[in-house]
Amino acid sequence: MLRTWKRAALGGLAALGLAVTAQAQTQPRNQITIMREIDSDRYDPHRSTALAGGEVLTMLSDTLVSMDFDMRTIQPGLAARWDVSPDGLTYTFHLRTDVTFCDGKPFTAEDMAFSLNRWIGRTTPRVVSPVAWRAGNVKEIRATGPHTLVYELNEPFGELLSQLTLFFGSALDPAAVERLGDNFGVQGFNGTGPYCWGSWTPRNEMVLTRHPTYRWGPPSLENRGPAHVERIVWRVIPEAAARVAALQANQADVTNYIPEAFWDAIRRVPTVTISQQPNYFWDFFMGFKVDKPVVSDVAIRRAVHQAVNREGLVRAVWSGHAEVARNIVNPRAADYDAQSDAMVPAFDQAAARRTLDEAGWRMGTDGVRVKDGQRATFLLYGINTLANQRSGEIIQQALRQVGIEMRIQLFDATVAWGRLATQEFDAFFLSYPYVSATDALSLYWHSRNRPTPNRMNWANPQTDAWLEGARRAIDPAERATLAANIQRQLAQEAPWLTLARSQMLVFAGPRVTGARAHGLYGIGIYKGLDLRVR
């Protein structure tokens, strides 16, 4: 009797085991799971600049205009067409008439005017967007008809259309903004995007559902709408190895958060498809505070450029999966200047020693150069990431060989931004996305942007004048000339060392097609309209 009972128990356990382990990787049909490393603080385009926020917001809402995959061509979005006045001060957008919000309410020019005015802090209650400057020097944004929007500027802004492709210019439903108050983008959202707000569990997952009547997707995508899949789940998986394994085990479908060290191994997996965006602009750099001792000397800064082997750095830090950089601007970005690329000091340690010798920096007894009683030593701050740790060690070693001492202090991300806003350090590591040369240069090099984001304390009236001219320029050739002037000036003065240009790869598992890397502001999957379950 006892033996029979034991057999039955063992049999039951075995059956349970089989049931439990069967089909471990099943995912609901017509749902796609996208993995990422961190979550956004909120999903309000005017209260967050987080990339994680932008990834979801481009699915939840639309912008007046959209960016093609070439990162140069502006395509229609919510605006079917637009006119620009000859003086470049007035943009008239003619909006599509068939657009609705997720709740079914028709979208009008009043809604778009509200959204853009909220971005620049002209609604009540006032919202202060950290990136309101991207909207230009606005005189007035108003609806002149149900589907006509007039965007008036105080001064021309040649970058306006590029800036309006970013998620900060998303269309919002004023009623939802008012109803949800501070919890807009936290507990709900009502947008015009291809997907609608489902549920959000902070730091865990965001669930989006298909917007069934959506038919106004950007022309650059194959599918204009509605989306092929019913649900998109953005799942946060903090552990990199778990993301790699999940992709291969079909427990998730898409991600662009795979560390470079895994790329070669994943390329060999036949079931994983990879999409690369060649026009991706996210650079890593080391900036110098040009008004601090030692690094204020252009000879030191040029010698740093000559001492660091950037090819070796890319191999060691990014496993060879980044582009070796010279100029501040990516060669594929609009208004890049090729001549300035050649002006950036190239790797040549002998030349670095000569540069320092000629500038009067003599080798000291401890292997660190000295000039006028001052040692060639400087302090670098950065966020404590693996890339910064490795880059720091390699650069420190390279500089030591030419007689420059670099001290490194890396901080946890929670405190790093506060420390990087101070004047305690001489140099720093950061990385950033940009849309074009003028966009990148405006962010960092205008004197009014000191102390952040212009942490270099770069204050040059000529640079300011060129930047303002480039921003105002309506003629693309004029803007390119002014942007080139700045790139050449910075190449000569060497106030920052571009370390590498990261690459955008989107990895997709065997269930999914249509996962094409976009890369606007670092966003891998743009809109998600082409995503489809096989």
Partner 1 sequence: MLRHAMQRIGLAIPVLFGVLLIGFLLMQVVPTDPATVRAGPQATAEIVAAIRTELGLDQPIWVQFGIYLGRLAQGDLGVSIINNVPVTQELGATIGPTLELMFAALLWSIPAGIFLGTIAAYWRGSLLDKFIMAISVAGVSVPVFFLGLVLIWFVGFQWQLLPFTGRGGPLWSMDGIRALILPAVTLGGVLVGPVARMTRTAVVDTLSADHVRTARAKGLAEHLVVLRHALRNALIPVVTLIGLQIGFLLGGAVVTETIFSWPGVGRLAVGAILSADFPMAQGTIIVLSAGFILINLTVDLLYAVLDPRVRQS
Question: Contact residues for partner 1 (CB under 8 A)?
Answer: 19-21, 24-25, 33, 35, 38-39, 41-42, 47, 49, 128, 130-131, 182-183, 186-187, 201-205, 235-239, 241-242, 245-246, 248-252, 412-415, 417-419, 452
Question: Least distance (Å) from partner 1 to the CB of residue 249?
Answer: 5
User: In the structure encoding, which two tokens stand for residue 253, read together?
Assistant: 């479908």
Question: Least distance (Å) from partner 1 to the CB of residue 252?
Answer: 6
CA–CA distance, 258 with 30 (Å, rounded to integer): 24
**347: DSSP letter:** S
Question: Least distance (Å) from partner 1 to the CB of residue 25?
Answer: 6
Closest of 138, 171, 144, 161 to residue 65, by C-alpha: 161
Is 25 or 462 the residue whose CB approaches partner 1 more closely?
25
Is 127 or 394 the residue whose CB approaches partner 1 more closely?
127
Mapped to the 3 state alphabet, what secondary structure does 200-219 carry?
EECCCEEEEEECCCCCCCCC
Question: Least distance (Å) from partner 1 to the CB of residue 515?
Answer: 18
Is 150 or 416 the residue whose CB approaches partner 1 more closely?
416
Burial 294-318 (b: 16+ CB within 10 A, else e): bbbbbbbbbbbbbbbbbeebbeebb
Question: Least distance (Å) from partner 1 to the CB of residue 437?
Answer: 22
CA–CA distance, 135 with 311 (Å, rounded to integer): 37
Is 306 or 449 the residue whose CB approaches partner 1 more closely?
449
DSSP 436-464: SHHHHHHHHH-GGGTTTT-TT----HHHH
Is 121 or 278 the residue whose CB approaches partner 1 more closely?
121
Question: Least distance (Å) from partner 1 to the CB of residue 81?
Answer: 34
Cβ-based neighbours of 293, under 8 Å, separated by 6 or more: 374, 426
CA–CA distance, 532 with 514 (Å, rounded to integer): 6
Burial 371-386 (b: 16+ CB within 10 A, else e): beeebbbbbbbbbeee
Question: Least distance (Å) from partner 1 to the CB of residue 129?
Answer: 9
DSSP 26-46: ---TTEEEEEES---S---TT
CB neighbourhood size of 266 (10 A): 15
Question: Least distance (Å) from partner 1 to the CB of residue 234?
Answer: 12
Is 52 or 517 the residue whose CB approaches partner 1 more closely?
52
Question: Least distance (Å) from partner 1 to the CB of residue 422?
Answer: 11
Is 338 or 413 the residue whose CB approaches partner 1 more closely?
413
Is 180 or 368 the residue whose CB approaches partner 1 more closely?
180
User: In the structure encoding, which two tokens stand for residue 310, read together?
Assistant: 């950037």
Is 4 or 21 the residue whose CB approaches partner 1 more closely?
21
Which residues sit opposite 236 in a β-bridge?
Answer: 36
Is 223 or 248 the residue whose CB approaches partner 1 more closely?
248
CA–CA distance, 327 with 499 (Å, rounded to integer): 10
Question: Least distance (Å) from partner 1 to the CB of residue 478?
Answer: 30
Bridge-based pairing of strands 377-383 and 405-411 is parallel
Under 8 Å between Cβ of 439 and 159: yes
